[in-house]
Amino acid sequence: MTMAMLVLGLLTATELDRVTVTARHAVEARPEAVAVIDAAQIDVVAAIHPNELFGRVPGVWISRGSGQELLTAIRSPVLTGPGACGAFAILEDGVPIRPTAFCNVNNLFEAATEMAGSIEVLRGPGAVVLGSNALHGAIATTPRRPGEAPHRAVTVTAGPHGFRRISGTLADVDRDHAWRLDGYGVSTGSFRDGEGYDQQKLSLQWAVPTWSGSPSVLLSASNLNQETAGFITGRDAFRDRRRFDNQNPEAFRDAFALRVQGRWSWPLVGGWLEWVPYARHDAMRFLQHFTPGKPLEENDSRSAGSQLMWRFEGRWRGQAGFDVEHARGDLLEVQAQPLTDASPFQNAVRPAGRHYDYRVATRMLAGFAELERTVGVNTRLLAGARYERLRLAYDNRAGDGNLREDGTACGFGGCLFNRPADRRDRFDHASAQFGLHHGLDERWTVSARFARGFRFPQAGELYRLQRGQAVADLRPETLTGPELGLAYRDDRLALELHAYDYRKRNVILRDAQGFNISDGRTRHRGIEASVRWQGPAGLWLEGNAAYSDQRYRFDRAVAGGETIIAGNPIDTAPRWLAGTRIGLDSLTLGRFELEWRHQGGYFLDAGNTERYGGHDLLDLRWARPLSERVRLTARLANLGDRRFAERADLAFGEFRYFPGAGRELHIGVSWSR
């Protein structure tokens, strides 16, 4: 990377005016690294995939898969596996969108990021309020409130490969009540053969400010029907015509989610008491095209819970509360036909029939407290802790052990899939953080934080076992370490720098024997920068950059024939992530934005034998009002028509890629009032 690229990469559009993801309420002057993507930016980007939006946040990479599929990285490598999603909390208006122990690596596509009023990204452990599943960070969407503009709106967008998208809003506010309805729908094909999806999202809010507690209700729903294209294979396949191939035309993913939450708030003893009851349901069916035998998986969960928090003001400020949650999740994995086209070993150990069929019921209880104290004029100290307990009751509805569905044994020492007998498990863990925020003067501030976060093992890690493992004796993963922050702000310039050094313990992985274990250790260090500069005559410049050094701190032979060596960089963890946007707001010409996105290279495997070199992309956006209520927009993605990989991988000696799209033009028309 040249010095010019680095300087440009130190610029971003994130604003830190409020923090709700870490505290469930609007606060100022906290030490956490939180970026806010506001409604204006969400409208400008008009993201087709979350990857396009979250690239504006330093240290964050939402790796794009097929259609709306994705993997998340926040101050971390891209994490894979059945429980990797437990490292990141995804919230909607302060409530997690999935229950503890039932995450899904793709569940960010269930969040209404396209219609949000703001999106907050916490980088680093969510130690006090969020608890489990906020190990490396959190993404929290907040809907546009009934009183926020626009109150009537519709946007239609068209693009290549049959892309059609429509979104709309209806809202009303009077003295007695307020309501808002936001809807979103898209249907599209792809540059890849047989790939495409249809997706719909809905958000409905209703509030009665004149009633006791000023109650409000939020109902959200999402639906995805996707024709999936898997990896393309072969060295540098993303550079030639193989990028158009779909080696898994039979693959699909159907996913549905429904969530409802209420909110009441009452004055109480120098502060207020807030109660948030909620209920959720999600269901997903997809073909595991990425494994031999291509079994069909069906999973779902139903959950209900309650958040109770007391917030108080005064010489000592603070908050304390309880979280309670009950959930039930089901999983069924069935292979329709015998496997015949793999090795004799794979053919023998992956039989047709049920592989897994179980139900898990969970109960979660947590308590937390945090105190803040202003010392002198410009210094604020805080300390907080959380204690959380998770109970799981597992009910196996297929035969125990690693036999075929008919009870007969597989060759080569037994079937691959091992089903534990019914059991009960319990996990307890505590987290804490200490922080300082100090104003050096009216423009400069410094902050420091030391935090410990954790995540409990997920149901898939505990009960989807293989070969000879009958019990997975796993421990909660922990992430511990300090971070420092420096910020500057005046009328034209906003700058932020953050540095961190985390140690992660009890990393859960699958070893060479196929056993789920939790004895891994890693280290994550990095520095992040963001700046926004407002120039004369409507000119502006912003961007973001992050450098990280993420390494293994243990030795282990793992699944897939790979060997982890202490000191090696972690695979799929780019050293550099950066982006820059330069824009012009003109009354006559409209709004122009040119965006440069940089992704650094990374190793493809734990043994560090092969690398992906990274890539640079350019996007151009333009918007111009045609009248007081009508606006025309255009976006030209991948301006240079570069050949690149959204994600690269090396598994079982085979190069695998999700290829990126070439140059694409999307045009939209909006009406609002």
167-193: b or e for each residue (b if 16 or more CB lie within 10 Å)? bbbebebeeeebbbbbbbebebebebe
Helices (H), 35-122: 39-45, 50-54
Q: Percentage of the chain with pLDDT > 90?
A: 88
Residue 562: the pLDDT is 87
**Res. 11: pLDDT tops 50:** no
Q: For residue 471, what pLDDT band results from cuts at 50, 70 and 90?
A: very high
Q: Mean pLDDT, the chain, as a whole number? A: 93
Q: Show the domains of the chain with their CATH numbers.
A: 3-672 (2.40.170.20)
Q: Which amino acid is at 291?
A: T
Residue 561: the pLDDT is 80
Q: Which amino acid is at 626?
A: L
Residue 8: the pLDDT is 36
pTM of the model: 0.95
Rounded mean pLDDT of 479-498? 97
**Res. 100: pLDDT tops 60:** yes
**Res. 628: pLDDT tops 50:** yes
Rounded mean pLDDT of 610-631? 97
**Res. 425: pLDDT tops 90:** yes
Q: For residue 585, what pLDDT band results from cuts at 50, 70 and 90?
A: very high
Cα–Cα distance for residue pair 372/435, rounded to 1 Å = 9
Residue 377: the pLDDT is 85
Rounded mean pLDDT of 350-377? 95
Residue 24: the pLDDT is 62
Q: For residue 514, what pLDDT band results from cuts at 50, 70 and 90?
A: confident
Residue 286: the pLDDT is 97
Rounded mean pLDDT of 328-344? 96
**Res. 548: pLDDT tops 50:** yes
Residue 468: the pLDDT is 85
DSSP-based three-state secondary structure for 514: coil
**Res. 6: pLDDT tops 50:** no
The DSSP result for 237-268, as a single string, is: GGGSGGGG--S-TT-EEEEEEEEEEEEEEEEE
Q: Give the torsion through C-alpha atoms of 231, 233, 235, 238, to 10 deg.
A: -50
Q: For residue 2, what pLDDT band results from cuts at 50, 70 and 90?
A: very low
